[in-house]
Amino acid sequence: MRAVVVHGAGDLRVEDLPDPQPSDDEVIVAMEWGGICGSDLAYWRHGRSGTAVLKHPMVLGHEVAGTIISLGSRVTGLQVGQAVTFQPAQLLGDGKMPARLTGRTNLYPSVRYFGSAAFDPHTNGGFSELRAVRVEQIRPLPDGVSTRLGAVAEPLAVAMHAVGRVGDLSGRRVLVNGCGPIGSLVVAALKFSGADYVIAADIAAHPLCVAEEMGADRTVNLSTAPLPDDVDLVFEASGAPAAISAVLHAVAKGGTVVQVGNLPGTPVTTVLGDLVSREVTWIGSYRFAEEIDLAVAALGAGLNVNPLITHEFDIEDAELAMKTAAGPESSKVLLRLSEAVSHPEPNLQNH
């Protein structure tokens, strides 16, 4: 089978690897679509993502979907030909959490994740024509949801987890700062969850166009206008340390900021005085727990993520796809990993 393998910083290869064989509690999935994430770009650019350092070649990809083609001997409740996406996280050990963290498995201390070098040996991802997957990580897609859209379920789950950190959103007015793929998905998740009015802000025009198509009621180009200062709930999705002080100053006094944009693990310089003097509540949001199920259900209920998908590439063009994903005129870039077995649909853009 072909797979997208990163060997080190700047060294990405499409290689032939042995076909996987399922254990008794695994299924073999023909992988059809994969979305390129910031962590994939980090491994390709720098040979690391956060504190996870690449020590050996690794198959990239955790935003993936495909079709089951074979079942392990002990697998029940799934069928060959079923379209699926995945919970990429696998808890190691007994899975027990302190009572105060019940249900927050995203904070479990030891997790293997598709396409992650956090452990040695690394955990291969899903940018391959085939993959063996543990049955508990399988998430069937609803009828009418293609594997192409199913590949967006994982980042949508990140957005839905962030939105869920603040409870009922019915009728609320919200600002999203940063309209990359996660920020735009936060916009969509907010509207889906009942937010009344969503303002999207970014420094560039293209992501603002995507955010508008994803449901934003108003957009603000920060290259020509300031952040709105009358909103009491803000989702900071840029992950730019330079944006923190501006957001903490702009949010209404006594308001809440949800930090969903991933911040560096190294020291940064910013101004935090407003956190105290304005009594701002600053909440972190990390990956997701079981919001993957909410994301899959939302796709089935008609949440439209099509505007997010700006480019599609065949697996042989993986490096070009990575370069495009790193550029300013893209949002979610998909890899066509193999020919779709189920739910075919027309392509948006071919390269």
Q: State whether 176 and 314 are in the same domain.
A: no
Q: Residues 45, 122: one domain?
A: yes
- Minimal CA–CA distance to 10: which of 266, 311, 323, 335? 323
Task: Let me know whether 133 and 250 are in one domain.
Answer: no
Confidence band, pLDDT 50/70/90 cuts, at residue 265: confident
Residue 161 resides in a domain: no
Domain of residue 244, CATH code: 3.40.50.720
Strand-pair category, 58-59 with 2-8 = antiparallel
Work out the mean pLDDT of the chain and round it to a whole number: 95
**Burial class for 263, CB neighbours closer than 10 Å (0-12, 13-18, 19+):** middle
CATH code, 97 = 3.90.180.10
Q: Are 299 and 144 in contact (CB under 8 A)?
A: no
* Same-domain pairing of 8 and 143: yes
Pairing of strands 281-284, 256-259: parallel
What's the whole-model pTM score? 0.95
Examine the pLDDT at 13 and tell me if it is beyond 50: yes
- The pair phi, psi for residue 82, each rounded to 5°, is -80, 135
Q: Is residue 100 part of a domain?
A: yes
Q: Is 277 within the bounds of a domain?
A: yes
Query: Based on the domain organization, do 152 and 173 belong to the same domain?
Result: no
User: Based on the domain organization, do 297 and 325 belong to the same domain?
Assistant: yes
Mean of pLDDT values over 5-22: 97
Same structural domain, 215 and 304: no
| Span 107-148, pLDDT tens digits | 999 999 999 999 999 999 999 999 999 999 999 999 999 999
Inside any domain, residue 33: yes
Q: Does 343 fall in a domain?
A: no
Q: What's the number of domains the chain is made of?
A: 2
How many other CB atoms are found less than 10 A from the CB of residue 272?
12
Integer Cα distance of 164 and 141 in angstroms: 22
What range defines the domain where residue 87 resides?
A: 2-156+288-336
